[in-house]
Chain A
Amino acid sequence: MLKYILKRLVYIVVSLFFIVTITFFLMQAAPGGPFTSERKVPPKIEEQLNEAYGLNEPLYIQYKDYLVNVAKWDFGPSFKQKGQSVNSIINRSFPYSLILGLEAIFLALSIGVFLGVFAALYHNKFGDYAAMIFAVLGISVPSFILATILQYIFAFKLQMLPVARFDSFAHSILPAIALATTPLAFIARLMRSSMLDVLNSDYIKTAKAKGLSGRVTIYRHGIRNAILPVISYIGPLVIAILTGSFIIERIFAIPGLGNEFVESITNRDYTVIMGTTVFFSVLLLVSILIVDIIYGLIDPRIKITGKKED
Chain B
Amino acid sequence: MNLKRWSILTLFFALSILLAACGGGDSEGNDKEAGSNGEEGLAAEQVLNVNIKSEPPSLHPGMSTDTTSSAVLYQVFEGLTRVDQEEEIVPGMAESWDISEDELTYTFKLREDATWTNGDPVTASDFEYAWKWVLDPENPDADYAYQLYPIKGAEDAKENGGSLDDVGITVEDDQTLVVELEQPTEYFLELTAFYTYYPINEEVTTANEDWSLDAGEDYVSNGPFKLVDWAHKDSITIEKNEDYWDADTVKLETINMNMIEEESTELQLFQNGDLDWVGDPTGSVPLAAIKSMKENDELEITDRGGLYYYTFNHDEEPFNNENIRKAFALAMDRQSIVDNVTQGEQKPAMALVPPSMFEENEEGYFKDNDVEKAKEHLEKGLEEMGLDELPTVHLSYNTDEGHAAIAQAAQEMWKTNLEVDVELSNEEWAVYLDSLGEGDYQVGRIGWIADFNDAINFLEIFESTGGNNYTNWENDEYKELIKESRTELDSDKRRDILREAEELFMDQMVINPVYFYTNLYAHQDNVKNITVSPIGTIQYKWGYIAEE
Residues of A within 8 A of B (CB): 30-33, 35-42, 44-46, 48-49, 51-52, 80-84, 89, 92-93, 118, 122, 125-127, 148, 151-152, 154-156, 159-166, 168-170, 173, 250-253, 255, 259-260, 266-268
Contact = CB atoms under 8 A, between A and B. Distances in A.
B24 A266 contact: no
B274 A45 contact: no
A33 B234 CA distance: 26
Interface string B21-44: 101111110000000000000000
Contacts of A160: 20-21, 24
Given A33-B430, A45-B158, A154-B24, 11 more contacts: A49-B140, A84-B232, A159-B28, A163-B269, A168-B26, A250-B262, A251-B264, A252-B265, A253-B261, A255-B231, A259-B261
A31 B435 contact: yes
Interface in B146-173: 146, 158-160
Contacts of A155: 24, 27, 268, 272
Given A36-B434, A49-B140, A266-B428, A159 B210 contact: no
B272 A81 contact: no
Contacts of B447: 38
A267 to B, nearest CB: 8
A155 B146 CA distance: 47
Contacts of B26: 162, 168, 170
Contact of B429 (A44, A83, A266): A266
B143 A45 contact: yes
A161 B261 contact: no
Contacts of A32: 429-431, 433-434
Given A36-B434, A81-B58, A45 B145 contact: yes
B205 to A, nearest CB: 12
Contacts of A162: 24, 26-27, 274
Contacts of A252: 265
A51 B138 CA distance: 11
**Which of the listed residues B5, B212, B233, B259 has the most CB atoms from chain A within 10 Å of its own CB?**
B233
Contacts of A118: 5, 9
B121 interface: no
B133 to A, nearest CB: 14
B132 interface: no
A174 to B, nearest CB: 8
A266 B23 CA distance: 36
Nearest to B66: A37
B289 to A, nearest CB: 13
B467 interface: yes
Contacts of A83: 58, 60, 63, 141, 210, 212-213
Nearest to B467: A40
A87 B438 CA distance: 35
Interface in B37-58: 55, 57-58
Contact of B433 (A36, A127, A255): A36
A42 B159 contact: yes
A39 B232 contact: no
B2 interface: yes
A165 B258 contact: yes
B5 A163 contact: no
Contact of A164 (B6, B143, B268, B434): B268
27 contacts: A30-B430, A31-B435, A32-B430, A36-B430, A36-B434, A42-B159, A45-B143, A45-B145, A45-B159, A52-B141, A82-B57, A82-B63, A83-B212, A92-B233, A126-B2, A156-B268, A159-B28, A161-B20, A162-B26, A163-B265, A164-B269, A168-B26, A170-B20, A170-B25, A253-B258, A259-B261, A267-B430
B137 interface: yes
A255 B259 contact: yes
B23 A173 contact: yes
B212 to A, nearest CB: 7
Contacts of A161: 20-21, 23-24, 27
Interface string B264-279: 1100110110100000
B269 A170 contact: no
Contacts of B234: 165-166, 255
B24 A127 contact: no
Given A81-B58, A83-B58, A92-B232, A168 B430 contact: no
A39 B468 contact: yes
A30 B274 contact: no
Contact of A154 (B20, B160, B428): B20
Interface in B257-303: 258-262, 264-265, 268-269, 271-272, 274
Contact of A122 (B2, B146, B272, B430): B2
Interface in B399-442: 428-431, 433-435
B162 to A, nearest CB: 12
Contact of A253 (B160, B265, B435): B265
B467 A173 contact: no
Contacts of B24: 154-155, 159-162, 170, 173
Contacts of A267: 430
Contacts of B434: 31-32, 36
Contacts of A251: 262, 264-265
A84 to B, nearest CB: 7
Given A32-B434, A266-B429, A168 B23 contact: yes
Nearest to A159: B28
B30 to A, nearest CB: 10
A30 B467 CA distance: 21
